[in-house]
Amino acid sequence: EAQVTQNPRYLITVTGKKLTVTCSQNMNHEYMSWYRQDPGLGLRQIYYSMNVEVTDKGDVPEGYKVSRKEKRNFPLILESPSPNQTSLYFCASRRLRNTEAFFGQGTRLTVV
């Protein structure tokens, strides 16, 4: 089954404790992105990648890191999480720029 898999789905952590949210897709898609969703703000792009070893900043990259060492994986790293990073996070992939994006099931992150 074609899918984007994110883990974990729920995470509660403390300020400053490094964490990684994993994302993997099995559709051989070139493009992968991370978004955060906040009430009243919709989805905002954090980082994106158009190919292996190619990543770039989206609209809200501060406090986040990503890597794309393999085509299928695109982890999101929070080196020192802060409470303002409490949000719902989505990983997405797509084959071409003008095709639909496939989303993971989301990760609800709470930083206390």
Partner 1 sequence: AQTVTQSQPEMSVQEAETVTLSCTYDTSESDYYLFWYKQPPSRQMILVIRQDAYKQQNATENRFSVNFQKAAKSFSLKISDSQLGDAAMYFCAYPMNRDDKIIFGKGTRLHILP
Q: State how far the Cα of 75 lies from the Cα of 11, in Å rounded to an integer.
A: 15
For partner 1, the closer of residues 6 and 85 by Cβ is 6
Nearer to partner 1, 26 or 80 (CB): 26
Cβ atoms of 90 and 37 closer than 8 Å: yes
Strand partners, 103: 92
**Binding site residues, partner 1, CB under 8 A:** 31-33, 35, 40-45, 48-50, 56, 58-59, 88, 90, 92, 94, 97-98, 100-101, 103, 105-106, 108
SS3 68: coil
Note the residue count of the chain: 112
Rounded least distance, CB 74 to partner 1, Å: 11
Shortest CB 58 distance to partner 1, Å = 7
Least distance CB 45 / partner 1 (angstroms): 6
CB 95 within 8 A of CB 27: yes
| Smallest gap from residue 39 Cβ to partner 1 (A) | 9
Instruction: Pull the structure tokens for residue 105.
Output: 């099931």
